[in-house]
Amino acid sequence: MTVLVVLIPLALGLGLVGLLAFLWSLRSGQYDDMEGAALRVLSDDDIEPSEP
């Protein structure tokens, strides 16, 4: 029973840290351009064209 005295506040604290990290990522713009990163992977800007 005394273990619950430690585990419940620990679980609530970890949940609060996760919520704060999520809110920070929203405010810093991590989710603004969801399709841009997917399309940047497909671009071949770093490959130089080979001469025939």
Q: CA 24, 15, 27 angle in degrees (round to 5)?
A: 10
Q: In the structure encoding, which two tokens stand for residue 48, read together? A: 């130089």
Distance CA 32, CA 52 (A): 41
Residue 43 pLDDT:
76
Residue 49 pLDDT:
67
Residue 34 pLDDT:
80
Its sign, for the CA torsion 28, 31, 32, 35, is positive
Scan for tokens 């585990």, then name that residue: 7
* Per-residue pLDDT tens digits for 1-50: 899 999 999 999 999 999 999 999 999 988 888 888 778 778 776 667 67
Residue 8 pLDDT:
97
